[in-house]
Structure 1
Amino acid sequence: MKTNDTNKATRINLFSFAAPHMRTFHLSWISFFLCFFGWFGVAPLMAVIREELNLTQSQIGNTIIASVAITVIARIFIGRFCDKFGPRLTYTTLLIVGSLPVIGVGLSNSYESFLLFRLMIGVIGASFVITQYHTSVMFADNVVGTANATTAGWGNMGGGATQVIMPLIFAGFVFLGFEDGAAWRWAMVVPGVAMIGLGILYYNFTTDTLEGNFSDLEVDSVAEFEGEEEDEADVSLKDVMKDYRVWSLFVIYGASFGIELTINNIAAIYYYDYFSLDLKTAGLIAGSFGLMNLFARSMGGYFGDKFGIKYGLSGRVKFLFVMLLLEGLALMLFASMGTLGLAIGTMIFFSLCVQMAEGATFSVVPFINRKAVGAVSGIVGAGGNAGAVMAGFLFKYESISYPDALFLIGCVVTVVSFLAFTIRFSMGDEKEARHELEVAMNETDGELEPAYAD
């Protein structure tokens, strides 16, 4: 594994499980994948749950909002927990404790109890922040955007995989003789148990930093173990919140990841209702949206890195703008499609754009405040869920059809894309990034072009 002078990896060797870089890489995305799987496990089964619990469109809309609302708060604070206690312990705790409501949702017997469990399950969406934090610690500037985007994208595939796999698990329990009302409940036990197993593995096979765990090093933040003085490293959440760029990225991520969450919640029932498909077929088509994360989000991070190498930090921002603009236009196009084939085709294009925009966002995030990576990641990550909450309100009202709601969201995303131009970096930030990038590239045996021209 190639590393730079801070011992961060300058390459991503996908087929390696070497500690600490690649082991962290793989365990973080797998953990996020399972959290995402459990988080949206009930979404592809909503047609069955709707019938059993007699849910109205408004009530379904409320459960969509609940599933992402508490994650806003959880993501803001989970980043600071990473800064203080380390990602290893934070992730382990979230996986094991978060598995309880995933398993427990099967106890729902009314709209109110189902709403409460969906709210509780939303906490595990904070796993995204830990994933981004841990890979930011492990990888150098020339690949950190790609590393962040790939771990997040492969984790996000859990949202697509659940659309395909959960109906099969449900069908398996039905085949074993369970009634529909019991089959969906037992199906939710599967991701919950898997999360417990991953929590144990994460605790035993990862380390907080390149040098070891926070408890062993007696440090309280990522900046301190990278050589900062303690008083300089202690950047408070309040200090981070004063940076307007953080809030610009908060809104931008709400317009990208927030919309992906929304589609994960409504895609299966959208195709079920508007194209008269059966549950398995609707789930399969809906799943193709999330499964694009196999490569789409990674592409966003990869090209964000490439633009950063060629044009500096401002290049990363310009690429983010382009992808967000294309996302908004693609969503409006998808919402206008009335035939199944065209709907699927435009949905795939939209999926590519939205996930590349997400990857591009987190190719910028690590450079906003290097002394508080967790806090910045947490706030920006929370923006994704805030966007999903806002979008969720449009799906509550019987007077607004799903296609109309999606078209309106596309218009909003298009406008928000121009907010990217408010994200600016000082000459000092550019010079610091230039130096670290050139150091990282020197460790790759000259395989990359020089980062900047004087």
Structure 2
Amino acid sequence: MSSSPSPSPAAPNKNKLNILSFTGKNQILHLGWMAFFLTFFVWFNHAPFLSAIGETLSLTKDQVKTLLILNVALTIPARVIIGMLTDRFGPRLVYTAILAIGAIPCFTFAFAQDYNTLALSRFFLGFVGAGFVVGIRLMSDWFPASELGTAEGIYGGWGNFGSAAAALLLPTVAIIAAAIVGGNEGWRYATATSGVVMMLYSVIFYKMVRDTPKGATYFKPKKSGAMMVTSAGDFWLMMAFKLPMYLALALLGWKLSPAGVSLLSQASVNIVYIGLVILYIYEFVSSYRFNKEVFTTPVPKAHQYDFKQVGILNILYFATFGSELAVVSMLPLFYQETFNLSIVMAGVLASSYAFMNLMSRPGGGWLSDKFGRKITLLILTAGLAVGYLLMGIVDSTWPIALALFITMFCSFFVQAGEGAVFAVIPLIKRSMTGQFAGMTGAYGNVGSVVYLTVLSLVSYQVFFMVIAATAVVGFFALFFLKEPEGVIIEEMPDGSFAQIKVS
């Protein structure tokens, strides 16, 4: 085995990033964001129809709000699992499976005749939200560090726009469908159509995407089965950061209990609690067995990384993407109730929040590439806190135009912050990018579950203030983040080592 690192023969294509090009790595970028776009379009195809769905099935307000929580719950464990599968099997196969299989719960949701079917379908649709993780790894293998933040930002931002597109387009599709079929349940056909399109795209993605540029190495974790850490301290830190994911699922269980919306009996919820405890203990034991060597044997420098970096980014994504998921889900209803608007108009105004993804998330990645990862995150996180503070004082006395401006102001910092977070993730350790992206992405869903649960208990104004407070926590955590610099070292299949520049 070679002991000295050598330049990687697996360098990405040298052609520059060009969004007007559809060849080489630029084609992969476009195919990737379109896959992400469709997963988000389907994942949030319910948002513009919340009031219509409630009327069709005679749902209470609590039941409608519970659908929002269910929509993001499964994505917590799904992103972690999908991240591991991506590192193991590659983005092409994993993304194709998500696009194809995810259409099934979309169809069952569209034609559900009772709340239980509706809720269960929405829960399983959280699986579709895990697709984001796959593209993060795909981009990291096609773009160099100098362009990676921008590429990840375009992928994330343009893909995230799927939620805005759903709010903009689906109400019109529903109106057309209702006119053709008759009745007032056009939302069913609109949501089902989105699933058909996603399923068809899975074939295109499979046929046109490669995991890496031709001749490049797809780096896999040295071991598979759990997340690898490289020190005893990192092990304890990792297990501490895994705990909130289980607590978020327990919080969901409480919301579904008789103390919440009574979707589950107390006995069933108690079983959920016990199951989560058993699962955490099992993961603790299996992670310890997987990493037990770090307690007795120093890990070679070539395989080392600092888990604290991942932990800090988890906190930031909790506040950024967690708040985006929550706000995108509730914003049409917020505008409708606050300003007494129609469903279509509320959906159009609410789409402004996600509309900013087209420029702000790529902008956050570009700023990170240009000026540095840490300083960019500090500025954007501070702006995020201010934005939500302003959202918290919006009420019916405000001019709609001013409320819309505040929404877009807040959205810029939220989504640029997301882009900046994932400008760092692939620079920690390339072979584990999927796992890191999975865990950090899951924290976004943990944030959304927490925020949406808060929303079910308090007013819209307090909801926005809570998000602002967590952004302040993320701001102070950032002072412990290390700016990526130098190179990361990965082991080649033949046992030699390759250097990957990160600055």
* TM-score, normalised relative to structure 2: 0.77
Matches within 5 A, 1:316-331: 316-331=373-388
Q: Following the alignment from structure 1 to structure 2, what is the Cα–Cα distance between the partners of residues 26 and 266? A: 29
1:14 match: 19
1:172 match: 176
- Which amino acid letter does the alignment assign opposite residue 289 of structure 1? Y
Deviation at 1:12, TM superposition (A): 1.0
- Which amino acid letter does the alignment assign opposite residue 347 of structure 1? T
1:248 match: 312
Deviation at 1:61, TM superposition (A): 2.1
1:45 match: 49
Q: CA RMSD in A?
A: 2.2
Q: Is the 8 A contact 2:108 2:117 kept in 1?
A: no
C-alpha distance 51-140 of structure 1, shift in aligned 2 (>3 A): same
Q: Following the alignment from structure 1 to structure 2, what is the Cα–Cα distance between the partners of residues 235 and 431? A: 27
Q: Deviations over 1:322-366 (max 9, x none)?
A: 201210111110121221222111001001110000001011111
Q: Following the alignment from structure 1 to structure 2, what is the Cα–Cα distance between the partners of residues 15 and 286? A: 29
**Are 1:369 and 2:429 matched, yes or no?**
yes
- Which amino acid letter does the alignment assign opposite residue 219 of structure 2? A
**Are 1:278 and 2:342 matched, yes or no?**
yes
Deviation at 1:381, TM superposition (A): 1.0
Q: Following the alignment from structure 1 to structure 2, what is the Cα–Cα distance between the partners of residues 71 and 276? A: 32
Match of 2:485 among 427, 430, 453: 430
Q: Deviations over 1:223-278 (max 9, x none)?
A: 25xxxxxxx73366332574232122112101001111111100101111111000
Matches within 5 A, 1:181-260: 181=185, 183-211=186-214, 222-223=218-219, 233-234=222-223, 237-240=226-229, 242=238, 243-260=307-324
C-alpha distance 67-410 of structure 1, shift in aligned 2 (>3 A): same
**Are 1:62 and 2:76 matched, yes or no?**
no
Q: Following the alignment from structure 1 to structure 2, what is the Cα–Cα distance between the partners of residues 408 and 57? A: 21
Q: Is the 8 A contact 2:34 2:159 kept in 1?
A: yes
* TM-score, normalised relative to structure 1: 0.85
Deviation at 1:421, TM superposition (A): 1.8
Q: Is the 8 A contact 1:318 1:420 kept in 2?
A: no
Q: Following the alignment from structure 1 to structure 2, what is the Cα–Cα distance between the partners of residues 84 and 235? A: 7
Deviation at 1:5, TM superposition (A): 6.2
1:293 match: 357
C-alpha distance 236-424 of structure 1, shift in aligned 2 (>3 A): farther
Q: Is the 8 A contact 2:381 2:417 kept in 1?
A: yes
- Which amino acid letter does the alignment assign opposite residue 50 of structure 2? M
- Which amino acid letter does the alignment assign opposite residue 12 of structure 1? L
1:136 match: 140
**Are 1:89 and 2:93 matched, yes or no?**
yes
Q: Is the 8 A contact 1:292 1:352 kept in 2?
A: yes
1:337 match: 394
Q: Following the alignment from structure 2 to structure 1, what is the Cα–Cα distance between the partners of residues 410 and 128? A: 26
Deviation at 1:372, TM superposition (A): 0.9
Match of 2:474 among 416, 429, 435: 416
- Say which is worse superposed, 245-254 or 155-164, in terms of deviation: 245-254
Q: Is the 8 A contact 1:235 1:371 kept in 2?
A: no
1:394 match: 454
Deviation at 1:403, TM superposition (A): 2.0
Match of 1:153 among 126, 135, 157: 157
Q: Following the alignment from structure 1 to structure 2, what is the Cα–Cα distance between the partners of residues 287 and 71? A: 22
Deviation at 1:433, TM superposition (A): 6.6
Q: Following the alignment from structure 2 to structure 1, what is the Cα–Cα distance between the partners of residues 334 and 170? A: 17
Q: Deviations over 1:141-196 (max 9, x none)?
A: 10001100111100000011111111111111122142123x11111111111111
Task: Give the ranges of 4+ consecutive aligned residues of structure 1 lying more than 3 Å apart after TM superposition.
Answer: 4-7, 232-237, 438-441
Matches within 5 A, 1:18-33: 18-19=23-24, 21-33=25-37
2:494 match: none
**Are 1:110 and 2:167 matched, yes or no?**
no
Q: Is the 8 A contact 1:59 1:396 kept in 2?
A: no
Deviation at 1:406, TM superposition (A): 1.5
C-alpha distance 239-5 of structure 1, shift in aligned 2 (>3 A): closer
Q: Deviations over 1:7-26 (max 9, x none)?
A: 3145211121113x122111
- Say which is worse superposed, 369-378 or 298-307, in terms of deviation: 369-378
Q: Is the 8 A contact 1:300 1:359 kept in 2?
A: yes
Q: Is the 8 A contact 1:17 1:26 kept in 2?
A: yes
- Say which is worse superposed, 409-418 or 376-385, in terms of deviation: 409-418
**Are 1:384 and 2:447 matched, yes or no?**
no
Q: Deviations over 1:187-237 (max 9, x none)?
A: 11111111111100111001111136xxxx9x8xx325xxxxxxx733663
Secondary structure class of the residue paired with 2:356:
helix
Q: Is the 8 A contact 2:486 2:501 kept in 1?
A: no
- Which amino acid letter does the alignment assign opposite residue 208 of structure 2? F
Q: Is the 8 A contact 2:72 2:448 kept in 1?
A: yes
C-alpha distance 386-36 of structure 1, shift in aligned 2 (>3 A): same
Q: Following the alignment from structure 2 to structure 1, what is the Cα–Cα distance between the partners of residues 141 and 479? A: 27
Secondary structure class of the residue paired with 1:207:
coil
Q: Is the 8 A contact 1:60 1:396 kept in 2?
A: no
Q: For structure 2, which runs of at least 5 residues remain unmatched after alignment? A: 1-7, 230-234, 239-306, 490-498
**Are 1:354 and 2:417 matched, yes or no?**
no
- Which amino acid letter does the alignment assign opposite residue 205 of structure 2? Y
Q: Following the alignment from structure 2 to structure 1, what is the Cα–Cα distance between the partners of residues 392 and 465? A: 5
Q: Is the 8 A contact 1:237 1:375 kept in 2?
A: no
Q: Is the 8 A contact 1:82 1:130 kept in 2?
A: yes
Q: Following the alignment from structure 1 to structure 2, what is the Cα–Cα distance between the partners of residues 25 and 324? A: 27
Q: Following the alignment from structure 1 to structure 2, what is the Cα–Cα distance between the partners of residues 128 and 259? A: 16
